[in-house]
Every structure is written in C-alpha cells, then in structure tokens.
Structure 1
C-alpha cells in the first residue's frame, strides 16, 4: 500500500481552506436537519388540508429517511469508486431543485417522491461530507470538527421545528415552508463549486501527481509518497466494495457501526418527528412552550457534547451516553401516569444527552474505515441507520395509538439498551487513530 506523508501534520494549522470545507459541510448538515425537521413541523397542517390518512402521514414522515438509505448505500460506494468531489457538488443540485418543487406538490404521492429525492441527495452527503472533511482536517481538530456537524444538523432541525410551532400554517404556507429548504441548499451548492478532490483518495488510486498538486495549492504542503507494495488504481478499486466491509479484520467494526448508529437514531427520529403527539399523550399543557424548551435543550446538549466528543475516548463516551439515555427513557415509561412535570424531567435529560451523544455519529464512522473503504463504509452505516429511523418513525404513531406512552417509551428504551450492550462488547477506541490510511504524522 502506498504511504503518504505530510510534514508536519500533527501541528498543521487550521487554514482558510479547512474553514471552507468545514463551512460547506456544516451548511449541508444544517440543510439536512432543516429538510428532515420541516416535514414534522408541517404534517399537522398538511394532514388537514390534504386529508392524509395515518398511512400517508407515516410515509411522508419517513420519506426522506427512505431516500437517505438508498442515497447513502448507492452513492457511498460510488464515492469510493469515482471520488468524493463530484458527489460533494452534484448532490446539492438535486436537493435544491427537489426542495423548491415542493412548493407545487399538493398531491401526497408527488410530495413523497420529491422527499425521496431530497433524502437520496442527502444520503450522498452523509457518505462523502464527513469523509472529505475527515481526510482534509488536521487530526488534532478532527473530533471537534466532525462532532460539530451534528450540532449544525440540530440547529437546522430546531429552526424548522420552531417555525412550524409558531407560524400559522395552512396548505399554502406549509408548502412554502417546505420549499424554503431550497435556500440553504442553494447557498451550500454555490460555496462548494471549486472544491478539489481528496488527495488521500487520489493516492489510493495511484494518481499521485494530482494529489501533490492539490496539496500544494490548497494546503500549502508537499506530499512525500513512498511506495510500499502495489499502488495501482485497479487494485484499489477492486478492494473498495461492500463485500470488503465484512472481510476479516473489518467486519466487527462494520457490525458495531450498524448497530450502534441504528440504536441511537431510531428513538431520536421517532420521538422528535411526533413530538407534538407525544406531548399531547402526556397531557402536557402549553405543548408549544414545552416543545420550544425541548428544542433549546437539543441545541444546548449538542454544543456541550462537543467537549466530551473531543476530549473523551470514543468508546467510553458512547457507552456512558447510551447508559444515560436508556435510563432516561425507562424513567419516562415508569412515570407515564405521573404528573406532566415529573414526566418532563427525564424527557429533558434524554433530549440533552441525546443531542450531545449524536455528535459521535459523525466522528466514529469515518474513523472505522481505511481510505479505500471510507465512503462506502460511512454510506453503509448511514443508510442502515436510516432504515432503523424510518421504521421507528413509521411504527411509533401506531404504537402510541395501540400501546400508549408507557409501553412505547419502554420498547424505545429497549433499543437503547441494545446499543449499550453492543457498545460494551464491540466499541473500538479510534480517538488517536490515523484517519487516512497511509498518512503519517
């Protein structure tokens, strides 16, 4: 395998180019959170104006998540095959156009298709966004930069929720709010024009001179490439594939990533897509104010969670946060017949800790894989986690109707308990790992 040396990488300063890559990836996560959050915000108004059945409510709530699955799985593999740069730009062209077309989507089937396309484009960004940022970022700042992606996702999600809660929505304004997701997406698209290919990926394909030129121009660094075995493109392309994610030496990381990521996001998306329904079932008075409070704790938890994401090891942070989340939802199930105030305490704790714990979902996946498998691996983990999120989003309203809050929160706590057990058994420590195969520090 070729080795790529950048000196002095350990003390590499944060350059303007790093800030540009970070900003455009941050913007993408804001757009993602906004696009996914806005459907939950407008669903009550759309249900009334479009006469949506429970089936259509569930499908529209899960539509972008379904698209995310296919986009992450398909385009993650493509990102390892053809590179990161093309997908990094073109996926936001799709997101911008599909988001704008929601303004005229007054048929539930058309709206469902458009949100599938939005999710498909976002799926590509879940695979190549963190991958490209991880391959360019200085190692000492990798954790905080990747973890911050989730904070920006949460900001977009919270903004969408607040707009949906405090605007008076009818059919026309609901579609206008859906289409407003095109604005941040278009800005991200414009800022990404001119983004170069990852030097790490180019070296893995044997395109060493191109990698050197990009590093010289954008990073102000000279690359020293030392051949240590075959470095040709054919060998690397053959290695990059989903079968390799389950090869000897890699399968444990992949299974851990699938289960840890899925266990975390299934309750998250289910609960926050149907927050209003849950608060109503809990008989919380002034649900809009309580919803605002929970959204503020989402933001606060995401920001505070950056510190342990950067400072703690990945393994202890994941195990501890899963444990707290399990206890919080279990307490919510036990207190389901208590006063609304008593129920809000574990709900707030869950919200705060979940927001901070979600930061690790942007950090862990890129660190679990070498360069030749990174985009495929990140895309696969994201895609499978979105299947879990879509299932939870579709099942929770049915569960609330037939089982009530107590048993609905109990089985969601069980999902988090599974994540705790899996993390104790399999979570690797990747905090000080070399993020890009063959980069020496």
Structure 2
C-alpha cells in the first residue's frame, strides 16, 4: 500500500494524517509563515521611508541621525543572523523560529511609545536582531522540508514576499502620511499587527528532520520525515548524511571557505545598491529631475516584484546560474551609464533605474536559495546567518552612506561606486556560482568540497 493511503512502514506507524493532502497543507502553512517573516522584513524597511521627513522635523534629527535610524534594522540583522544561526544549529530550528517572532512582537509594539532618537534606534535595532534570526532559521527550515524539484521556487517565494512587504510598507507609510497625517509612531508600529498573527500561526510546527538526524536523533527524524516529507527519496537522502556536530570555524575550513565567500559576497553586492536606492528613492530620482512620491518608491518595488515573479516561475527549469551571473553584468553596465552620462534625459534615467530594479530582483531571488543549498545541515543555520550578516553590512552601509555620498560627492560619483560593487559580485559569481537545480541537499552541499 502507498504512503499516501496510510501504510505501515518499518518503524513508527504512519498515521492517517500522513496523506498527500496533509503534506500539501503542511507545506502551504510552512510557506505562509516563512513568507510572512520575509514580508515583515520588507515592511519595516519600506514603511519608514515616507515618514522620515516628519520624524526628522519633530525630533530634530541630523542627516547622520536619519542614516542611522534607516539602517538600524539592518545592523540588527548583522547581529541577529549569526547568533540565530548558531543557536538554530545548536538547539534546533523550531524553538528559534518561535523566539525570533516573539522578540519581534515585543520590539515592534515598543514603537508606539518612542520618545527619543536613542530609543527609536534601539527599538529598530532590536527588530533587526529578530529578523536576522528569522533569516538564519527560517530559510534552512524551508530548504530542509522542500522537495528538490520545487525547492528553488518555494525558497524564491520568500523573496517575492520581501519585495511585496517593502511595497506594502511604503504604500501604507505614504497613504497614512498624507496631508492629514497619522502620527508616525502609529504608522511604523503597524508591523505589530502582522507579527502577532505570524506568532500564533507558528505554534505547533515540527522540528527539521535533517537537524534531528545531524544530532543523532534518528528515530525522531524518521517519524517527522514520514509524516511531513513528500517522498521516500528525501528520507533516503537524510539517512545518507553524516551525524556530525558543526562549528562556526567550519565555514572557513579548506573544505567550505569558497562556499562561504561566494554566498556572502554575492549577497553583499546584491543588497548594497538596492537598499540604498530603494530606501531613498525619492531623493535619488529627484536628483535627475524626476518626481518622487508614491510612484518613485513603489514603482521601483513593483518592477522588482515582477523580476522575482519571473525568476520564481522559471528557476527550477532554467537553473540557478542563469539568474545569478548575467543580471549582475548587465546591472554593472546600467550603473556605469547612469554615473557617466550626467546629462541623460529623465526618461532614460528612469528606464535604467527600472532595469536595475528588475535585474537586481532576479539576482536577489538567489540570495534566498543558495544559502540553504550549499551549506551542509550541521552549519546551514550559522552559514546562512554569517552570509546574511555580511549582506547586511552592505545594506547598512548603502543605506547609511548614500545620502551622505550624494550630499558630498554628487549622485553620479555615487552611481559609479555602485557599479564597482556590482562588478565585484558579478566576477565572484561568474567564477563560483554553482548549478544546483534538481539536486538533493546532500549533493548541493557537497558541490564546493570537490
């Protein structure tokens, strides 16, 4: 009798709920809670953009203060992602998955009561720490449950949610900050409502069977795998893995240093220009005589969502490298044209920014896929967390330095710096980006060690 009909297999009895329909429902729930976490990350970064002017005026912030506040959540991710990854590898994905969202609920609610620039920075930093843990626990959890044939698509959906969250957040912030504005504390605090829903939706999710196996808890791993995983082949792949305790130092060992370098730098070079331009879309576009407002911030995000959607639809058929390498080379050219052609017509500049947004989003989709695939189970959390931390150094630097760079050196020079950053990412990807389409996690994690 087949697994779908509830057969008895060696070991624990496979209960009635382990049907194909049950597994589909579980995967839908897993996708929903994971995409919700990424939506929150995009939301908190998008919602603050339209209210920055009001915050600056009310609290007497300097340009440096504004850069720090805008990048506080990013620097929080820098702290939270490696810590969350280490804890997730050591204590399990499941407990950290609840703890990070509980921390986010608490920090988000504190936004309603902000009374100083220092408190605002501290709260946004704390929210970033929670989101950082989400990266380093949520993505490994998804990769460890997703079937190989759909893994790229399912992991990519989380990035679609991130861009969607940024767009929704920016729209909410803009609409609520119209001529009769709602208090900015309430506007940025709206993330609390989303996080409360997600916290309760996560209750009862299982531990990763791959993590359990890596800790030698084989019977528990088999029980959960039979209940939730799609096929017997996935369980066989788990059983082929070593029972091994991972260490942070493993990321820089002879066996794994190239995977760490590739994922970290590729991610860094993708997010640095995006966060800088998207967060300050209005001011960047105005430098070229273009109207900002809702169309500026949301327009770039809408094009980005389209780029992610195309990638998600094709990633498991066309492969990873197609969406990793070419978009970076083209984006390098785009920034060179913007930086060198100072007298370009506004329509051309806008078109180039839209091309950048589309291609950067295509490329950015792989930042959710590669970490979960190339790191082995015992360091998947800390590896993802380390790479996320490096990427958020880039995102934080871009967000913090862009307004200062435009003010000091002009937007053309700033765009040339962006071109240099993207070029370095393209070169690293050209040399090291692996093709992991359709491979099991054991195969993808072994790719850099040969």
TM-score (norm 1): 0.90
| Distance in 2 (alpha carbons) for counterparts of 1:36 and 1:112 | 13
RMSD over aligned Cα atoms: 2.2
**Which structure 2 segments of 5+ residues have no match?**
1-19, 446-450
Corresponding residue to 1:177 among 187, 198, 208: 187
Displacement of 1:54 in angstroms is: 1.1
Partner of 1:40: 49
Displacement of 1:324 in angstroms is: 1.6
Displacement of 1:217 in angstroms is: 3.5
Question: What are the superposed Cα offsets for residues 245-267 of structure 1, whole Å, 9 maximum, x if unpaired?
Answer: 11122111111111111011111
Partner of 2:223: 213
| Higher mean C-alpha deviation, range 252-261 or range 348-357 | 348-357
Answer whether contact 2:237 2:440 (CA < 8 A) is retained: no
Moved over 6 A (4+): 224-230
Partner of 1:333: 339
| Distance in 1 (alpha carbons) for counterparts of 2:316 and 2:155 | 9
| Distance in 1 (alpha carbons) for counterparts of 2:174 and 2:128 | 23
| Distance in 2 (alpha carbons) for counterparts of 1:416 and 1:311 | 26
How many residues were matched structurally? 422
**Which structure 1 segments of 5+ residues have no match?**
1-11
Answer whether contact 1:262 1:385 (CA < 8 A) is retained: yes
2:393 maps to 1:387: yes
2:149 maps to 1:140: yes
2:209 maps to 1:199: yes
Displacement of 1:229 in angstroms is: 9.8
Corresponding residue to 2:77 among 45, 68, 84: 68
2:271 maps to 1:262: no
The 1:284/1:256 distance shift into structure 2, 3 A limit, reads: same
Partner of 1:187: 197
Corresponding residue to 1:152 among 161, 168, 174: 161
| Distance in 2 (alpha carbons) for counterparts of 1:90 and 1:194 | 13
Answer whether contact 1:79 1:375 (CA < 8 A) is retained: yes
Partner of 1:303: 309
Corresponding residue to 1:321 among 322, 327, 349: 327
The 1:438/1:205 distance shift into structure 2, 3 A limit, reads: farther
- Give SS of 2:291's match: coil
| Distance in 2 (alpha carbons) for counterparts of 1:421 and 1:131 | 26
Displacement of 1:292 in angstroms is: 3.5
Answer whether contact 2:278 2:300 (CA < 8 A) is retained: no
- Give SS of 1:91's match: helix
Partner of 1:26: 35
Question: What are the superposed Cα offsets for residues 197-251 of structure 1, whole Å, 9 maximum, x if unpaired?
Answer: 00111011111111122223444877569987974xxxx33xx122101112211
Answer whether contact 2:272 2:397 (CA < 8 A) is retained: yes
| Distance in 2 (alpha carbons) for counterparts of 1:43 and 1:241 | 41
Answer whether contact 1:151 1:299 (CA < 8 A) is retained: yes
| Distance in 2 (alpha carbons) for counterparts of 1:253 and 1:131 | 16
| Distance in 1 (alpha carbons) for counterparts of 2:230 and 2:129 | 35
Partner of 1:58: 67
Partner of 2:3: none
| Distance in 2 (alpha carbons) for counterparts of 1:337 and 1:187 | 49
| Distance in 2 (alpha carbons) for counterparts of 1:230 and 1:76 | 20
